[in-house]
Amino acid sequence: MTVDPVTKDPFTAQLEHWIERIWEQARAFGLDPYPTHFEIVPATIMYEFGAYGLPGRFSHWTHGRAFHQMKTMYDYGLSKIYELVINTDPCYAFLMEANSPLENKLVVAHVLAHCDFFRHNAYFRHTNRQMVETASVNAERIRSYEFEHGVRAVERFLDAVLSIEEHVDVLDAGRPGARAVDGDAEDKPSRPRTTAYDDLFELDTRLDPGKGAPAVRAPRKRFPVEPQRDILGFLQEHTPHLEDWQRDVIAIVRQERLYFVPQMRTKMLNEGWASLWHSRILRELDLPDDEYAEFARLHSSVAAPSRRSLNPYYVGMKLLEHVEREEKVPLFEIRKLESDVSFMRNFLNKEAVEELDLYLYEFEGGEWKVVEKDWEKVRDGIVRSLTTYGIPYIVVEDGDHKRNRELYLKHCFEGDELDLRYAEKTLAQVHAIWDRTVHLETVIEGKPTVLTFDGEKSSRATL
Amino acid sequence: MEYTTSVSKHDWSLHRKGPIDQARHNTKVKEAIRENLADIIAEEAIITSDGKKLVKVPVRSLDLPHFRFDPKKQRHAGQGEGDSKVGDVLGQDGSSGTGKGPGKGKQAGDTPGVDYYDAEIEVDELAALMFEDLGLPFLEQKQNEELEVESIRFDEIRRKGVMSNLDKRRMMVENVKRHAIAGETPRFGAIRDDDLRFRTWQHVYRRETNAVVIAMRDVSGSMGEFEKYITRSFYFWMVRFLRTKYHRVQIVFITHHTEAKEVDEQAFFNLGESGGTRVSSAYQLALDIVSERYDPARWNVYPFHFSDGDNWGDADNQRCVDLVKALLDRANVFGYGEIREHSYGTPTTLMGAFQGISDKRFIPVVIKGKSDVYPALRSFFSLRDESGGLRTAA
């Protein structure tokens, strides 16, 4: 335990004592967290870090909006962020200045379980553990681009890139050296048709075989060779006319997104893990009666069922408890090997679905209604939504569509249709990067359809 | 000893990143509101705000778009409290209607499909954005102008004046200057009469032209919730517009079913009656009122009427046409708004009858949805030149 001597007031000294006790209790239970630094911050800072996802991350109005919304809800007493912990080595965690002593104890225990999870879960094996420094450097670079090219220009480009930030290769996330799958080096895309006379020049070579290319075109190699899920990576490498700073902005957004992917993939398990351990640790702390009552209240408000979404704290914790009790599977093995998808697929059985009272619901005749209680269908529905994380599976199918450098994206349709208004607007954002006509193949009302944006207008064509 | 945990508490008071990006977001909200006025002003929350100064308006365009599933075509997972069953209703459509946005729910994503952002704006600010280039069309100088408006503007500084108008900041500057000129340390102190500066005012005169607006509203049984809502919404903004832009304009409120009557503002907005419709009764009453109280030689007259166009019969429609012509002899323009929510090409009677009126000062407008209210306001209150063509705003 080290404490910054300048700030060692009685409150901090007290807190430091409890952190030490909780650390020891966590170790006694078998948890093995990274060393963790706790910073006590005022609410504004807490909400800023919560909104940006990382301290010191680049500026953008969407971050400002998130900050404003979270802060307003806090000011009105509607919600409160308790825990904020960054997956780095050592871990950084933040405690809100206004927390009560009990709130701090619960948060510290919760956070240490997260730090254990970050350290030992297989999906985090390759994450960048210096991400705070990386994010600061990234922010600095973006600031310098703003200085050089104007705030508006950078914002406009960031808007476009952030619109498709979810489209990285999630399965690839964080693997060292993971990068965009490249096309064959010799597989040069065609020169874009830029004048009305380009056809004539081609005619020239076609009429005189001896002069240039053979009369019959060789079958075109695919570009990319395989459909590519990492749209950001593809755009970063293959967009024809980007300036260096723009490629760098794409790289930054992609890198930061990949950092968050393991957290997305294990949200339920990680929060369940932390909630399970904060409650076990706090029960060992010999809390005074009033604090114990406060703990019970706080814990049940954090881990409460939600009718319209799965509260990861609640579902994750209940399922872990269920598995430990009924299936006799060691919890530490689960935290080491599973992601949300595999965890749910392996362990969400009939008893668990019934115990948690899980269901599927949908929009039907103006109302949101419960439509499915059959445990297998509920399990499959949950596994499916966790597989996509609500993000449609879209790939770059052709980066040289019509041999005119048009971009052809394809939605790998798995039964759920896209929100068309959003799809068309997003396509316009992709165009803002690619700067030539962009297409998206998807399914609308059961029919394969291509949406197109040519820089001025959107159109639709049924295939 | 091995490093395990540490605690610190730094001074964060100079850290301003969040608020700075928040300010940028606010600027974008204002831009988005300007671009989406037509949708925003028809929000029920505003019309029913009862004089509240701040209203919340949903700004849809301010979300960064992304590829996402249609939430209404997807199945979602939830949890009950142990007793859920198929058929349980979890809620109503959250994305239409009264603009209940996120921010009230427990967490983002609590209500699938709701994706807009609630921005707070002052009604007056919204009105200023809407009306900046609108005005009363064909406004003429009439004889016997109303009394000149007088207001006071402080815009001059003098050495003599009333103590209550003392300009303390200037006085201090003068004081420091005097010390400096005298070669002393430039400091504040030892005030003399020479240092005193007083703010003083001028009378400002503005001439206004007489104008009266006659607001007519169909309250018959055929006017459904939607039609009533549109009418109220239009008149809400019209009244607001007139009051902010023309301080002295008078407004006469008339409601009608088979009979017309003049009512006060509150009754006009709240009245919900039923019965048949005879539009001519309203026009006749308007004509009577103009003849009695608003001599066209002295007044600019602006009658407006909103209806679903469902009138009593052809005979009355013909009477309406005659009365509109008679009113146009005395009025600057006549605005007629017909609200049709569902009709596709059904020739609603009243608008059909008005086809024959070729006067450029007769302005017919068809409203099919909430977002047509703003365009209707714009066509009624766009400044026009003599030929009736639209005048570009200065």
User: pLDDT digit of tens for each residue in chain A (463 aa)?
Assistant: 554 555 567 888 889 999 999 999 999 999 999 999 999 999 989 999 999 999 989 999 989 888 888 888 888 877 788 889 999 999 999 999 989 999 999 999 999 999 999 999 999 998 999 999 999 999 999 999 999 999 999 999 999 999 999 999 877 654 544 444 444 444 455 655 556 555 555 555 455 544 444 445 556 678 898 999 999 999 999 999 999 999 999 999 999 999 999 999 999 999 999 999 999 999 999 899 999 999 999 998 888 888 888 999 999 999 999 999 988 899 999 999 999 999 999 999 999 999 999 999 998 888 889 999 999 999 999 998 888 888 999 999 999 999 999 999 999 998 889 999 889 999 999 999 999 999 999 999 999 999 999 999 999 999 8
Whether residues B19 and A44 touch (CB distance < 8 A) is answered with: yes
Q: Which of B5, B84, B117 sits opposite A359 (nearest CB)?
A: B84
Contact present, B333 and B304 (Cβ < 8 Å) = no
Q: What is the DSSP letter of A67?
A: H
Please state the separation of Cα A179 from the chain's center in Å: 17
Residues of B in contact with A411 (CB under 8 A): 67
Look up tokens 């009033």; give the residue: A290
Q: Is B289 helix (H, G, I), strand (E, B) or coil?
A: helix
At residue B307, does pLDDT exceed 90?
no
* Residue B37, min C-alpha distance to chain A (Å): 19
Q: Which residues of B touch A62 (CB under 8 A)?
A: 25, 64
How far A353 CA lies from chain B's nearest CA (Å)?
9
In this structure, what are the phi and psi dihedrals at residue B264, rounded to the nearest 5 degrees?
Answer: -85, 175
Chain B nearest C-alpha distance from A56 (Å) = 8
Per-residue model confidence (pLDDT) at position A178: 43
Measure the CA–CA gap between A12 and B6, rounded to whole angstroms: 10
Which residue, B4, B41, B40, B32, is CA-closest to B234? B41
Interface-testing mutation among B1, B3, B9, with chain A (most A C-beta atoms within 10 A): B9
Chain B CB contacts of A56 under 8 Å are 17
Task: Search chain B and give the residue with CA nearest A391.
Answer: B68
CB–CB contact A61 B25 (8 Å): yes
Across chain B, which distance is largest between two alpha carbons, in Å? Answer: 101
User: Rounded to whole angstroms, how far apart are CA atoms A450 and B222?
Assistant: 44
User: Which residue in chain B has the smallest CA separation from A373?
Assistant: B86
Cβ-Cβ pairs closer than 8 A, A with B, add up to 264
Assign B147 a pLDDT band (cuts: 50, 70, 90).
very low
The predicted pLDDT at position B52 comes to: 61
User: Is A357 in contact with B84 (Cβ distance < 8 A)?
Assistant: yes
CB-CB: which of A15, A20, A307 is closest to B90? Answer: A307
Predicted local confidence at residue B103, as pLDDT: 31
Other residues' Cβ atoms within 10 Å of the Cβ of residue A148: 10
Choose the mutation target among B12, B13, B22, B67 for the interface with A, i.e. most A CBs under 10 Å.
Answer: B67
Check residue A145 and give its pLDDT.
Answer: 96
Which residues in B lie closer than 8 A to residue A382 (C-beta atoms)? Answer: 77
Instruction: Flag whether pLDDT at B143 surpasses 70.
Output: no
**Up-side HSE of residue B68: CA atoms within 13 Å toward CB?**
17
Task: Tell if the CB–CB gap between A417 and B15 is shorter than 8 Å.
Answer: no
How many Å apart are CA B188 and CA B184, to the nearest integer? 11
> What are B290's two structure tokens?
């103009």
Structure token digits, residue A396: 């770059």
Q: What are phi and psi of A88, to 5 degrees?
A: -140, 175
Q: Is the dihedral of CA B232, B233, B238, B244 positive or negative?
A: positive
Beta strands in A64-190 (DSSP E): 84-86, 91-96
**Which residues of chain A neighbour B91 with C-beta distances below 8 Å?**
308, 367-368
* Structure tokens that stand for B261 in this block: 């009557």
| Choice among A10-24, A80-94, B337-351, B363-377 with the minimum mean pLDDT | B337-351
CA-based angle A276:A279:A285, to the nearest 5?
A: 140
Give the distance from residue A190's alpha carbon to the nearest chain B alpha carbon, in angstroms: 28
Select the more confidently predicted residue: A226 or B136: A226
Question: Closest Cα of chain B to A267: distance in Å?
Answer: 15
What residues of B are in contact with residue A47 (Cβ under 8 Å)? 18
Q: Which of A35, A44, A416 sits opposite B73 (nearest CB)?
A: A416
Among candidates B24, B79, B90 on the partner chain, residue whose Cβ is nearest the Cβ of A64: B24
Of the candidates B5, B108, B389, the residue with the CA atom closest to the CA atom of residue A21: B5
Q: Do B91 and A41 touch (CB under 8 A)?
A: no
- Measured CA distances, B74 to A237, A373, A382, A415, B109 (Å): 34, 16, 12, 9, 14
Judge whether A23 and A115 are in contact, CB under 8 Å. no
B70 contact residues in A (CB cutoff 8 A): 416-420
Distance from CA of A206 to the nearest CA of B (A): 42
Q: Which residue has 């020479």 as its token pair?
A: B194
Cα–Cα distance for residue pair A68/A74, rounded to 1 Å: 10
Cβ atoms within 10 Å, residue A128:
18
Pick the residue from chain A with its C-alpha nearest to B115: A422
Interface test with A, best of B1, B3, B5, B73 (most A CBs within 10 A): B5
Q: Is the pLDDT of residue B145 over 60?
A: no
Q: Taking the CA atoms of chain A, what radius of gyration do you get in angstroms?
A: 26
Rg, C-alpha atoms of chain B = 29
Among A61, A317, A409, A430, most B C-beta atoms within 10 A, so best to mutate, is A61
E-strand ranges in chain B read: 5-8, 54-59, 76-79, 89-92, 117-122, 149-158, 198-206, 211-218, 250-256, 260-263, 300-307, 334-339, 362-367
* pLDDT number for residue B227: 83
Query: In what side-by-side order are the strands of the sheet with A394-401?
Result: A394-401, A406-411, A438-444, A447-453, A458-462
Preceding peptide of A90 cis, ω within 30°: yes
In sequence order, the 6+-apart residues with CB closer than 8 A to the CB of A170 are A229, A261, A264, A265, A389
Residues of A in contact with B19 (CB under 8 A): 44, 67
Q: What distance in Å separates residue B127's CA from the closest CA in chain A?
A: 24
Does B23 sit within 8 Å of A39, measured CB to CB? no
Nearest to A308 among B23, B78, B117 (CB): B78
At B155, give phi and psi (nearest 5°): -145, 20
Rounded to a whole number of angstroms, the distance from the CA of A25 to the nearest CA of chain B is 13
Best mutation target, B2, B3, B16, B17, to test chain A (most A CBs within 10 A): B17
pLDDT at position B106 is 30
User: Between the ranges A30-34, B11-15, B29-33, where is the mean pLDDT highest?
Assistant: A30-34
Q: Is B208 exposed, middle or buried (0-12, 13-18, 19+ CB in 10 A)?
A: middle
Per-residue pLDDT at B138 = 78
Query: Does residue B38 register a pLDDT over 70?
Result: yes
All residues of chain A having their beta carbon less than 8 Å from the beta carbon of residue B10 are 7, 39
Q: Is the Cβ–Cβ distance between A387 and A341 less than 8 Å?
A: yes
Shortest CA gap B82–chain A (Å): 5
pLDDT tens profile B79-117: 988 889 898 988 876 543 333 333 333 333 334 444 556
The tens digit of pLDDT for each residue in B196-243 reads 999 888 776 666 667 888 999 888 887 878 888 888 888 888 888 877
Q: From start to end of A328-366, where are the E strands?
A: 358-364
A189-198, B47-56, B338-347: the lowest-pLDDT one:
A189-198
Chain A nearest CA to B342, separation (Å): 19
Inter-chain contact B106–A306, Cβ cutoff 8 Å?
A: yes
Pair A93, A84: CB distance under 8 Å:
yes
Considering only the beta carbons, identify the residue of A48, A90, A381 that sits closest to B77.
A381
Residue B86: which of A2, A372, A426 has the nearest Cβ?
A: A372
Cα angle vertex A110, ends A270, A348, to 5°? 30
Question: What integer pLDDT is reported at residue B105 of this predicted model?
Answer: 31
- Judged by CB atoms closer than 8 Å, whether chains meet at A37 and B8 is answered as yes
A419: nearest CB among B68, B103, B117: B68
Place of tokens 């912990």: A85
ipTM for the complex?
0.85
Relative to beta strand A91-96, strand A367-372 is unpaired
The confidence score (pLDDT) of residue B186 equals: 84
Return the pLDDT at A105: 95
Contact B9, A7 (CB under 8 A): yes
Q: Determine, for residues A308 and B72 on separate chains, whether the beta-carbon distance falls below 8 Å.
A: no
Q: Which residue of B has its CA nearest to A418?
A: B69
Instruction: Show residues of chain B in contact with A360, CB under 8 Å.
Output: 75-78
